[in-house]
Chain A
Amino acid sequence: MDSALIPEGVKRCSPKVFFFWTLPWIALLLWGAVSAALCLLVGLNQTNMSDYFAFAVWIVVDLAIIALGAGAFFTGFLTYIIGKKELKDIINAAVIIGFICYSGAVAMLGIDIGQPIRGWFIFWHVNVHSMLAEVSFCITCYLGVLAIEYLPIILENREIKKVRTLRLAGENLHGIMAVFAATGAFLSFFHQGSLGGLFGVMYARPFDIRGGFYVWPWTFFLFILSAMAAGPSFTILCTKLTEKIARKHLVPEKAFQTLAKISGSLLCFYVVLKIIDTLVWVFGNVPRAGLSFMDFFKEGPYGVWLLVLEILVFGVVPAIILITPSARKSEGWLITGCLMNCIGIVLNRFTFTIVSLAIPVMPFDKFVSYLPTWQEWGVSVAVIGYGFLLFSLSYRYLPIFPKERELNAATK
């Protein structure tokens, strides 16, 4: 039925199977659509956010997917700027994942702010000192860059390619991709950092406050680093998942190994710095604010275990797995390592958002708890649905894995 659209020489499932495959994702999207409509039309009272939890699950998801989507800029950087040729086999997937993550995040932010219609005031009345302004600028621009990077992949569709102008446009875009990769890397560097800066500059919250370099708190650099470490892992994970579901090889092992090695090395570097940062914070910043580290966990469900989990279990362990060549060469360990890496970064973003807001600063203030409403979950899971849907469509109709034909020729 849609065979004319499917890339040449590859096998895809029947339209019927594909249709059923998309149903759950469409359902998630619908749930999200209803939630979003409620939040936009009735207001944010549809959520369980509060004056204490001004940032909540949506910001956690935003921060997490932006970090995980960092695979796009970083792989692009490695491919086009550093010249890691083997990554060309995976760059398309990385770009699409990046696009999904960033567009999802921007859409969520649009729902998260109280006055989305005035969202552009950030640009019009910009406060250049605000980390959030920097984030907004960079994310918006980078989303544009990602769209441009995504465009040539779309233009490679069999039917679209038949239109000469479009084909030429695609080829031309491909030709200048290094420019966009460089732009993307630059923008990403700043907004990933600014996302970290977002918290580090809240100097009146002892749970967040960090020292820093010039206007950038250490969290600025740690967020960049952690995103660079986790992004490629997430790209590997997504690709591996696609391979599992499609039941075939799509990317040569070398690409995976390169990415995993870089991801692991960066994670090692990150974990070391993160541990130093945490120690400096625990023994420096925190007591300066009149608190001991354990004071943060006097009330509520959170505890030191959270940091142990984040840094040691989901930081040190995946770092070791990914830098150990024998470990990462085993597919099981590779996936475990990447997964743990991703979980670690999500935990990190969660801690900075939810835990830091949950911990009262005034001695007479009290801990209040927060659980998202179904509307908040709806918007959050819609991003997952959207991601699966867009990636599935791209995989089905676009030649995103250049080596797919080659790798699956033998089995034919």
Chain B
Amino acid sequence: MEKKHGPAKGNSYGMVIDLDKCTGCGTCMVACAAENNLAVRPDESDKQRSITWMRLYKVTNGKDFPYTEVSYFPRPCMHCDHHTPCVSVCPATATETDPHTGIVSQIYTRCIGCRYCMAACPYHARTFNWWDGYFPKGKGIERYLSPEVSPRMRGVVEKCTFCHHRLMRAKTQAYTEDRRELEEGEYITACTEACPAQAITFGDLKNPEHKVSRLAKSPYAFRLLERLGTEPKVYYLSTKDWVRKLGDNYLPGEFKPVSTVKAG
């Protein structure tokens, strides 16, 4: 089910996450938080108000002991390609889909915090700053903040940007070397880089040379809630039918096990 991504020119950055390889360790989440200056509160157990750009979902096959199996869905922003649900609803143009990269951006200083985008996103990829960042005086925890990503103020929505600053970093490097095109792997997200299982592959979905575009065509590839038509640029791979089935909603009989997918 190959879909075209983005406009004819430019790149369409996307991700393939191999769920067979993913061990659920959470390094992607921590790498993302560290890279993007995510605010941490003393209590992060309120998951409905905890800021995460990359979030791990734990799923089980629901079978009884000892046939139980767990698996994980790492969920970054899907950077939806088609009529990006959040972008189209934002009243203040604080989030946009970059036609040259396919990356859905978020402008914190423009966001008015109406949260309509959060309501529109079925992936819960967006989180709101219910609090100001927690940086008590004398603790000195603000010292690990990276200058590449501006810390957010309370009252605005934030989300995964595919580490857009890394794209800028890579481009700057390329331009100083008098190149206009980036090599594969020159720009990857922090989670991709951090994953100790190399479960995440990142690259240009429109470039057939890139591993990511090959993997996205795998018979094991699927996307979250694909049938809603949001055209996510994040693909998942799994050889396990029960995992694949959890990627979307199916009426009885609709789901095609991987064997039939492979044959067909």
Residues of A within 8 A of B115 (CB): 49, 54-55, 113-114
User: A364 on the interface (CB 8 Å rule)?
Assistant: yes
Contact (Cβ within 8 A) B113 A289: no
Contact (Cβ within 8 A) A289 B227: yes
* Nearest chain B CB to A313 CB, angstrom units: 27
Scan residues 257-295 of chain A and give those whose CB is less than 8 A from a CB of chain B: 287-292, 295
Residues of A within 8 A of B114 (CB): 112-114, 132
Residues of A within 8 A of B73 (CB): 364
User: A402 on the interface (CB 8 Å rule)?
Assistant: no
Q: Smallest CB-CB separation from A207: which chain B residue?
A: B122
Scan residues 189-229 of chain B and give those whose CB is less than 8 A from a CB of chain A: 224-225, 227-229
Given A203-B85, A205-B120, A290-B248, also A368-B110 (CB < 8 A): no
User: A122 on the interface (CB 8 Å rule)?
Assistant: yes
Contact (Cβ within 8 A) A55 B119: yes
Q: Smallest CB-CB separation from B153: which chain A residue?
A: A115
Scan residues 49-64 of chain B and give those whose CB is less than 8 A from a CB of chain A: 49, 57, 59
Contact (Cβ within 8 A) A115 B119: no
Contact (Cβ within 8 A) A365 B57: yes
A45 to B49, CA, bound (A): 9
User: B11 on the interface (CB 8 Å rule)?
Assistant: no
Looking at chain B, what size class is its interface with the partner chain? Answer: 35 or more
Residues of A within 8 A of B92 (CB): 118, 121-122, 124-127, 133
Residues of B within 8 A of A203 (CB): 83, 85, 228-229
* Binary flags per residue of B98-132, CB closer than 8 Å to A gives 1, else 0: 00000000000011111110111111101111111
User: B155 on the interface (CB 8 Å rule)?
Assistant: yes
A42 to B156, CA, bound (A): 14
Q: Smallest CB-CB separation from B128: which chain A residue?
A: A51
Segment from A23-31, A79-87, A90-98, A355-363 that makes contact with B: A355-363
User: A202 on the interface (CB 8 Å rule)?
Assistant: yes
Contact (Cβ within 8 A) B156 A122: no
Scan residues 48-65 of chain A and give those whose CB is less than 8 A from a CB of chain B: 49-55
User: B32 on the interface (CB 8 Å rule)?
Assistant: no
Contact (Cβ within 8 A) B48 A202: no
Residues of B within 8 A of A114 (CB): 111-115, 128-129, 154-157
* Nearest chain A CB to B147 CB, angstrom units: 23
Residues of A within 8 A of B126 (CB): 51
* Nearest chain A CB to B246 CB, angstrom units: 5
Contact (Cβ within 8 A) B121 A127: no
User: B178 on the interface (CB 8 Å rule)?
Assistant: no
Scan residues 153-204 of chain A and give those whose CB is less than 8 A from a CB of chain B: 198, 201-204
Given A114-B156, A292-B251, A363-B246, also A130-B118 (CB < 8 A): no
Contact (Cβ within 8 A) B225 A127: no
Contact (Cβ within 8 A) A368 B48: yes
Contact (Cβ within 8 A) B111 A115: yes
User: B247 on the interface (CB 8 Å rule)?
Assistant: yes
Contact (Cβ within 8 A) B119 A54: yes
Q: Smallest CB-CB separation from A56: which chain B residue?
A: B115
Residues of A within 8 A of B247 (CB): 363
A55 to B132, CA, bound (A): 20
Q: Please pick, from B118, B157, B249, the residue contacting A291 in the complex, using a CB distance under 8 A.
A: B249
A364 to B83, CA, bound (A): 24
User: B257 on the interface (CB 8 Å rule)?
Assistant: no
User: A69 on the interface (CB 8 Å rule)?
Assistant: no
Contact (Cβ within 8 A) B124 A51: yes
User: A43 on the interface (CB 8 Å rule)?
Assistant: yes
Contact (Cβ within 8 A) B228 A204: yes
Residues of B within 8 A of A133 (CB): 91-92
Contact (Cβ within 8 A) A202 B119: yes
User: A212 on the interface (CB 8 Å rule)?
Assistant: no
Q: Please pick, from B88, B112, B131, the residue contacting A201 in the complex, using a CB distance under 8 A.
A: B88
A-B contact pairs, 5 of them (CB 8 A): A49-B130, A54-B116, A114-B129, A127-B91, A202-B85
Question: A-B pairs with the 8 shortest C-beta distances?
Answer: A114-B113, A114-B155, A290-B249, A50-B48, A54-B115, A361-B122, A54-B118, A133-B91
B interface with A by C-beta (< 8 Å): 46, 48-49, 57, 59, 73, 80, 83, 85, 88-94, 110-116, 118-124, 126-132, 153-157, 224-225, 227-230, 245-251, 254
